[in-house]
Chains A and B, each alone.
Chain A
């Protein structure tokens, strides 16, 4: 069994006057509802042009055949350095947030169906992202005949 561990540390000495903020958490990524570790991985480092919404990663039907709603995890980091650049990210047609230059995000993604894909769109300039999908199943697209 593979073991994937994700650890976060958030700290600030001046966000809350008179109190140091220190949030720390660590989790081992498991298959949905199980204590068995995730076993599949897809990583990338790609340049994203502006003006188009792109799908990042697989469709639900490419993650586990006919069985969706699984426990996948997504890490994305925007490697841009211009403070005005950001990546809109969302699920399907709904944008949820802006991943600005230098920012990272880490989320569970349940891929309930093919309309639950992760979408991204670069704003203000071409940007490079680094990403990783940790999943219990990834299915390659069928080759064209």
Chain B
């Protein structure tokens, strides 16, 4: 069993009282107190077109589990973004189910059941780079 800790800190002065959210979790297997111990690895990918692409293939992961997906747009532009979608085919923009837009410098972490691909589409032909990693609750070995 491995121990993977993830901590978020969100601080804001939107309201007249300070907002300070701090939360930590140890990533566990579904329904168990056993830590996640597999990963697809940290990947970095440059995009130079708006063509949709799969970044997480669900058939590499066990279905209906407690995977976690981390994605970060490492670019600096706040003008451009990636659509991020939970989608069977490589079509992110304007199709179900788009989760959100990841602008330059933004990151996201979300629980993922491993049942459908995660796809992205860049909003620009300018170079943008994503880094992403799946903390897996079961990796399916590739068939020979």
Interface residue? A140 (CB, 8 A): no
Interface positions of B from 86 to 115, Cβ below 8 Å from A: 86, 94, 96-103, 105-113
Cα(A41)–Cα(B30), bound, Å:
32
Main secondary structure of the interface of A (DSSP, over half): strand
Q: Name 21 interchain pairs, CB-CB below 8 A, sorted by A.
A: A2-B14, A6-B9, A6-B10, A10-B5, A12-B2, A15-B36, A23-B42, A32-B103, A43-B19, A71-B103, A83-B32, A92-B96, A96-B99, A96-B111, A97-B67, A98-B65, A103-B27, A106-B108, A108-B102, A108-B108, A110-B83
By a beta-carbon cutoff of 8 Å, the part of chain A in contact with chain B is 2-16, 21, 23, 25, 27-30, 32-35, 38-41, 43, 71-72, 75, 77, 83-84, 86, 89-92, 94-100, 102-110, 112, 116, 132, 134
Main secondary structure of the interface of B (DSSP, over half): strand
Q: Taking CB as reference atom, which chain A residue is nearest B4?
A: A12
Interface residue? B133 (CB, 8 A): yes
Chain B residues with Cβ under 8 A from A16's Cβ? 39
Cα(A38)–Cα(B94), bound, Å:
23
Cα(A11)–Cα(B5), bound, Å:
5
CB distance from B131 to the nearest CB of A (A): 8
Q: Taking CB as reference atom, which chain A residue is nearest B26?
A: A102
